[in-house]
Amino acid sequence: MSSKKSSQLQANSETVHWKKTLAKALVSGSEWPDKDELLDVLYWGRQLLALMIGIFWGFIPLHGFLAIVLYIAISTAVGQLYATNFQKVDEDSLGGFWELAKEGFGSAFATFMVSWIGVYSASHFN
């Protein structure tokens, strides 16, 4: 019985932490004492952005090398602007430009490719 209660308390604690992090992520200039928390926000934001761009590219239809280059440019720029301009964090305190650029890049790129190819194939099938 006590293990069930402790697992419920842990689940509630994780839910509260997640909601607080989301609230901080949506407010400009929030304090980020734990830099890993901000990097987690960048990771999940990049995942969401990759999904949206992939769906959009699939519908319009944008294809080829240009689509990939545009995705990389937009994803990198949005991540940098979010951290440095919206959250007003010094990028050097997070590891510099390349650390921000590569945070979640591989998995977000996979999300982009799967959503782009899937939507393109489904909506432009002959």
Per-residue pLDDT, 125: 80
* First-to-last C-alpha distance (Å) of the chain: 58
Whether 9 maps to a domain, the answer reads no
The pTM of the full predicted model, rounded to 2 decimals, is 0.85
Both structure tokens of 51: 């999904």
Q: Could you read off the pLDDT of 38-72 as tens digits, one per residue? A: 999 999 999 999 999 999 999 998 989 999 999 99
Both structure tokens of 25: 């992520």
Whether 7 maps to a domain, the answer reads no
Whether 8 maps to a domain, the answer reads no
pLDDT at 117 over 90: yes
Whether 60 maps to a domain, the answer reads yes
Q: Could you read off the pLDDT of 63-107 as tens digits, one per residue? A: 899 999 999 999 999 999 999 999 999 989 888 999 989 999 999
Both structure tokens of 37: 């928390």
Whether 79 maps to a domain, the answer reads yes
> In total, how many domains does the chain have?
1
Whether 2 maps to a domain, the answer reads no
For 68, the domain range is 29-123
Whether 17 maps to a domain, the answer reads no
SS3 40: helix
